[in-house]
Structure 1
Amino acid sequence: MITGLYAALVAIVFIALSARVILFRRAHQIGLGDHGNKSLMKRMRAQANCAEYAPFGLLLMALVELQNGYALLLHLIGVTLLAGRMVHGYGFSTSPPIMVMRQTGMMLTLTSYLLSILALIFLVF
């Protein structure tokens, strides 16, 4: 299952974003909340953003695969989603944020959604 490969790779991105939060908390002895620390807030939002957008992208991709979507198309969707989550996560969580990376990451993520949506509509007919 091609979607499984990309789910695993996106999960690695999520683990990396989570590790950035955990390591920052340990280094600054922040147990709960963010204590108003803007760097921690950015890291937390980068992690949360991945948790918000990645599952839906993977769900759409899985639906394309269940509709017998072409392997090349599935890899295109998966690479686009993975790249989007990596670029956005890094650009969002740096201090200061790298806005062009945030924007590019979101565009790649939404492009993967659009590719999946179009494939699902096309595969129904």
Structure 2
Amino acid sequence: MTPIATAAVYIGVNILILFWLSFRVVGRRRSAQVSLGTGGDAQLEQRVRAHGNASEYIPVTMLGLFVVASLAAPLWAIHAIGGVFTLGRVLHGFGLSGNIMASRAFGMVLTWLGMLGAAVALFWFALT
């Protein structure tokens, strides 16, 4: 598998995470009959923030992962960045959606490690 194909797998999984979180927002909007905002519905607000948080972190990190792969990084680096970040997003999404603080916190730490790994790898592979 090439570095870009490997990155594509992680990008695809993260798109599915965004889709799942979005689907949960729409489902709650329909059941709560709220078309704009959260209408004071606590469960909808929680789902909106879970999706919003993922929307804030996933695009920039996946762009970084793609560029790292384009710079011919070794597969282990793509898997390390993509795997840690993606696991973090899954844990955080479940934690925030289900109000499970340990999952949410550990997921955020893994998310930050994945982001930091992408940033360091971008500098490393661009400058070497």
CA displacement 1:53-91 (0-9 Å, x = unmatched):
001111111121122110111011111111111111111
Are 1:110 and 2:112 counterparts? yes
Are 1:121 and 2:123 counterparts? yes
How far did residue 117 of structure 1 move? 2.0
- What TM-score comes out, normalization by structure 1 length? 0.91
Q: CA separation in 1, counterparts of 2:122 and 2:60?
A: 14
Letter in 2 for 1:117: A
Q: CA separation in 2, counterparts of 1:78 and 1:112?
A: 7
2:97 maps to which of 85, 93, 99: 93
Q: CA separation in 2, counterparts of 1:5 and 1:17?
A: 19
Structure 1 runs (4+) greater than 3 angstroms displaced: none
How far did residue 27 of structure 1 move? 1.5
1:48 corresponds to which residue? 52
How far did residue 121 of structure 1 move? 2.7
Unaligned runs of 5+ in 1: none
Letter in 1 for 2:117: L
1:34 maps to which of 19, 33, 38: 38
CA displacement 1:29-72 (0-9 Å, x = unmatched):
22221111111111000001111100111111112112211011
